[in-house]
Structures are given as C-alpha cells and as structure tokens.
Amino acid sequence: MTVSDNEILRYIKIVASLEGMFICPEGAATVAALEKLMAEGTLQTDESIAEYLPLAKTAIIYMRRITATDVEARKAATFDPTATAEIENRLQPFQDLMGQPWYAEVRAATPPLLSELLTVQRAEQLILRDYDLALPERTYDEKFGI
C-alpha cells in the first residue's frame, strides 16, 4: 500500500487540528493507508480493526511516555499556574484514549526482541563489523545460527 506525500500532509494537518498534536509522517501514512483500505473494502471497520488495537495501545503508551517526560520538564521550568495547566493539557488526548472501553480490554502488543529478529551469529557479525571488540570463539548450530 502506498500513499502520496499530499495524503501524509493532509493527515498531519487533520490530526493537528482535531487533537492538537503533531504526528510523525509515518503515523500519518498509516492513517492514510487505513482510510484507503477501508474505502476499498479490504479492511472492515468492525472485524479487522480489532487486530490492530494491541498495536494502537502500544503506540499510545509509547507516545504518552514521551509526552509526559516533556510535560514534566516544561512544568519544572515554570511557576505560572496558567502555563502549568496549559502544559498538562497536552496529556488530555492520551487520557481520553486510555479511558475508552477498548483500551481496558485490549492487551498491548509487545515489540519483538532483537534476538527474535537476528540470529546470535548474525548479531555478533554486525557488532564485530562496527566495533573493535574481541569476542570469545563460538561454535554455532548450522541450521539455527545459535
């Protein structure tokens, strides 16, 4: 599925105007692709969306942590109660999402570990290529590279 730069910019603007948040181009591309899939009938709103909710929950948790860290840093830099309240409002969209019933029912997706994506042998090759390290000699299983 491909989306154009104009579609990406459109969704960045839509989310910014509706939620007051600037989303990354990758996030906007995902929303644009979902809209296309739903328009084509490839993705059904009720059935297929449920498959993506664990990923959505993980993304919400991740982005809330980043935003909360920024909010705390900004709050520490001001003593003005009005400014503090305005800064804290940046967390409200996350609170709204986290208060929805699906959020309580869905278990967040866990990102894969690096070891699940690379064999130990390949990881060591990459490390040795990029860093001047002396690792002990190992014997690897030919089939699994472990």
> Mean pLDDT throughout 6-29?
81
Instruction: Say which amino acid occupies 116.
Output: E
pTM summary value:
0.49
- Please tell me the distance from the alpha carbon of residue 16 to that of residue 10, in angstroms, as a whole number: 10
Contacts with 19 (C-beta within 8 Å, 6 or more apart), sequence order: 93
Q: What Rg value do the Cα atoms of the chain yield, rounded?
A: 21
> pLDDT tens-digit profile of 70-102?
999 999 999 999 999 999 999 998 898 898 888
- Please tell me the distance from the alpha carbon of residue 140 to that of residue 123, in angstroms, as a whole number: 12
Q: Which two tokens stand for residue 101?
A: 């019933």
Share of the chain above pLDDT 90, in %: 16
- Please tell me the distance from the alpha carbon of residue 33 to that of residue 134, in angstroms, as a whole number: 46
Share of the chain above pLDDT 70, in %: 87
What values do phi and psi take at 77, rounded to 5?
-95, 0
Q: Which of 24, 20, 51 is nearest to 37 (CA)?
A: 51
- Please tell me the distance from the alpha carbon of residue 33 to that of residue 136, in angstroms, as a whole number: 47
